[in-house]
Amino acid sequence: MLVDQPPPDYVLSNCQGRKRALLIGINYFDTPNELKGCINDVHNIKDFLTEFYGFQEEDMRILTDDQTDDPFKMPTRANILASMQWLVEDAEENDSFFLHFSGHGGRVKDVSGDEYDGFDETIYPLDFERYDGNSGQIIDDDMHDILVRPLPSGCRLTAIFDSCHSGTALDLPYIYSTQGEVKENNLFKFAGRRILHAGFALITGDRENAKTFIQELPQQLKDASSIAEENRRINSSKADVVMFSGCKDHQTSADAQEEGQATGAMSYAFTKSLRENPNQSYQELLVSLRDILSSGYSQRPQMSSSHPIDVSLPFIC
């Protein structure tokens, strides 16, 4: 279990200040990785934000890979990073910023030691293959440093990641269950997966590996708990950051077909839920997202934040 630590001295945003949005949709046209619904997701989110939350198109930066006539509007690695910096620059208390990403997500080996499962979560820019190895991907550590760390007290960033392996895409340390409770970094589920691995090894006759899995488990749990404590210490924020992601870190997010249109399953669920009932609490919204996707998808949307939140408060952005 995590050692109790005092929460950060945060301030909630009333979201009545400046509003700014960065919307990124990548279909990866004419590649083996092509998706169908990501650009549609951006247009749907843009309409949703202007209709329900007072965002203006002139205060949005939209990166999609169908804007081939303007190289600065293509979702390249450089453009995404520059636009993330634009999104949060000159941030002030009660501002409300919104980030939406619909595209491919991935995982790479963690080299900084801040991931209890050993992997950093990533997003794939359009031009990721132009870089050596995995360096074309944008990792969660860098997104946290660009988007979360510079924000002042009382500034809101709402982030939606509709991509695979996106559960902790911003490395926010408070992850909530549908019961409204902070998860203890899934340590028990982590232990359960290790025990399953041991059981499988035993069934297949690999007694040595089974023994190793069990022997290493106590130390791995201790290490994972230490990492979780450190992440809560360094990644908590005085700002007001809330993220909804399409799935857990080890899951994939679906490129779907809903109501006759190609769409990301998470983007569809988010706009559908709030269009049908704009007056939901954070907990109700998370439950609703899970319910909408439960019938046709295995992914389980996640909600995380930069500070402890009262999940009974109404969702605003």
Give the catalytic positions in this structure: 104, 164
289-313 per-residue burial string, b: 16 or more CB within 10 A, e: under 16: bbebbeeebebbbbbbbbbebebee
End-to-end CA gap in the chain: 33
Residue type, 180: G
CA gap 27, 40 in Å, rounded:
9
CA gap 170, 46 in Å, rounded:
21
Contact 287, 181 (CB under 8 A): no
Residue 238, judged by CB atoms within 10 A of its CB (0-12, 13-18, 19+), counts as middle
CA gap 271, 274 in Å, rounded:
5
